[in-house]
Structure 1
């Protein structure tokens, strides 16, 4: 399972229908939070995602991307959490996390470890990794690419049987990449296992101007979640505030060859309708949608 739940999709100012930025990723039961705007813990309750997070990744330290952390960690502590929590972010992450922990009169029941990342840093999680990607937002900022490592190829049960391998432990041994011996003959895993298969990849840009680093990191991604704050009519404002227009995000997605694009960080200007954003993006890249609160996207595995 690789499921994305949008908990906050608004741009800078919350609205009655959009919370500040927060995206939850559930990979095989492991919960990771990307950005944590105010009210995120309530959004998690509404979405029934649970709060057993292993890590939080902050793109930058504008208030609408991290102010939900103090309340969230206090709630997790109140609920009896004892497992450590990792919080990642760009430059100054350690200082900020220390201040957030010290904010208010309470004592946490678990340890928080802060990590400062820079462009290209990789957090290796075994079957997958998360890569920090430089972005262009006028302050120290990062996007994140979550990429699964290649999986073992399909096991050819019919071929294994033809080679005389009995059903049982020897099948498992071959699937683990170990040879087996049948009647004096060594059967290699390559004889019964196909080519390795790709994992899944998703990219979250955070707030940014379109930039080469995000485009490169997004190459072939199953899902790109990109800043799409406003339409091209406000291009000058996008340039000034270091955000992206819907059309610019769509153009980047097209160049990177992503499978699906989701626009988030939606300006309050579009509270009545996001159709202008959608139409602008679809003129360039067809498979695009506008993130809504509690939108869920499940990314399937592929053998291609």
Structure 2
């Protein structure tokens, strides 16, 4: 799993930061990409990466402010032109479906794939054999959601030496044992998967929060997460300025990560008032509360390896 930031600014684009968008790259897990928010020019940002729009399987919209959705119609159309023919599911607040359908209708944009739009409420909004996605409404000036993506535990590793010792033949029986299924050999012996595999391997948890004031639902979504992506539109000392706009300071983002027991925090949605050289000062402020923090920048990429969060040079 990798996270790649396509836009890390707040409100409107600047020379340093585009508007909000983040790609969760699940290429190893399901050969797909999940996109979170789609601000203006997101597809332009994608051109500077290895991301393929046809690989985007799901799009999660936090809220309907323009800096989080104005890139969506163009990306939906381009996905058709670029050979995307598999189903695309879009999740977001009430009103998203009407806005997308009306925009595509008026612009006469034809899609060559099935598009499903799910207007969400709090709770589990997606679950399959591998993942659970939970949404909770945060505290912004319009309805806005945060998302918790949890990978379910992975099967343990097969102890090949042990299976060889007890005479399990090579072939499909080994795969069944690795997948957690007990098997019966030709001689009638029952071989239990738990006896020839290591314990299940814990999956990752990522919390991707929309625009929000400091709130307890952010903490709930971020509980014990490997990575928390939290907005930090303002710096220390500007709490009273942040609150009326439904935003957080870097100190509040750090407090959420600390109180949630998260492993790492990536601060996002940075105001254009903070030039690149100011990012270090924001990071220093955040570290005073939560040490494992990064300030996101456009195209920055992060991954989890052996439970540790690493930044990859993009």
Aligned residue in 2 for 1:192:
196
Equivalent of 1:111 in 104, 111, 114: 114
1:120-176: CA deviations, max 9, x gaps?
Answer: 132113311221122111211101111111111222222223323234433223223
Shift in CA distance, 48/12, structure 1 to aligned 2, threshold 3 Å = same
Moved over 3 A (4+): 166-169
CA distance in 2, matches of 1:68, 1:222: 29
SS at structure 1 position matched to 2:207: strand
Give me the TM-score of the superposition, normalised by structure 1: 0.93
Measured in 2, the distance between the counterparts of 1:14 and 1:243 equals 17
Partners of 2:182 and 2:99 lie apart in 1 by 48
Per-residue deviation, 1:302 = 4.6
What displacement does 1:233 show? Answer: 1.8
Alignment of 1:101-180 (within 5 A): 101-176=104-179, 177-180=181-184
Counterpart CA distance in 2 for 1:88 and 1:24 is 15
1:66 to 57, 64, 69: 69
Counterpart in 2 of 1:267?
271
Aligned mates of 1:269, 1:251 — CA distance in 2 = 22
Q: Does the alignment pair 1:248 with 2:247?
A: no
User: C-alpha offsets along residues 87-142 of structure 1, whole Å, 9 cap, x if unaligned?
Assistant: 11012222222223224243333332211011113211331122112211121110
Once the two structures are superposed, the pairs formed by residues 94-105 of structure 1 within 5 Å of their partners are 94-105=97-108
What is the 5 A alignment of 1:47-86?
47-52=49-54, 53-86=56-89
Distance 1:83 1:154 in 2: 32
Moved more, 226-235 or 149-158: 149-158
Structure 2 CA distance, aligned partners of 1:167 and 1:264?
49
Q: In 2 relative to 1, CA 79–161 (structure 1 residues): closer, same or farther, beyond 3 Å?
A: closer
Is 1:207 aligned to 2:206, yes or no? no
User: Using CA pairs below 8 Å that are at least 6 residues apart, which structure has the higher relative contact order?
Assistant: 1
What SS does the corresponding residue of 2:259 show, helix, strand or coil? Answer: helix
What is the root-mean-square deviation in Å for CA atoms of aligned residues?
1.8
The answer to whether the 8 A contact 2:53-2:82 is kept is: no
Q: Secondary structure at the match of 1:59?
A: coil
- Give the number of aligned pairs: 302
Partner of 1:13: 12
Show CA shifts across 1:221-276 (max 9, x none): 11110011111221111111111110111111011111111000000110242123
Task: Could you tell me which runs of 5 or more consecutive residues in structure 1 were left unpaired when the two chains were aligned.
Answer: none
Return the TM-score normalized by structure 2.
0.91
Gaps of at least 5 residues in structure 2 are 309-314
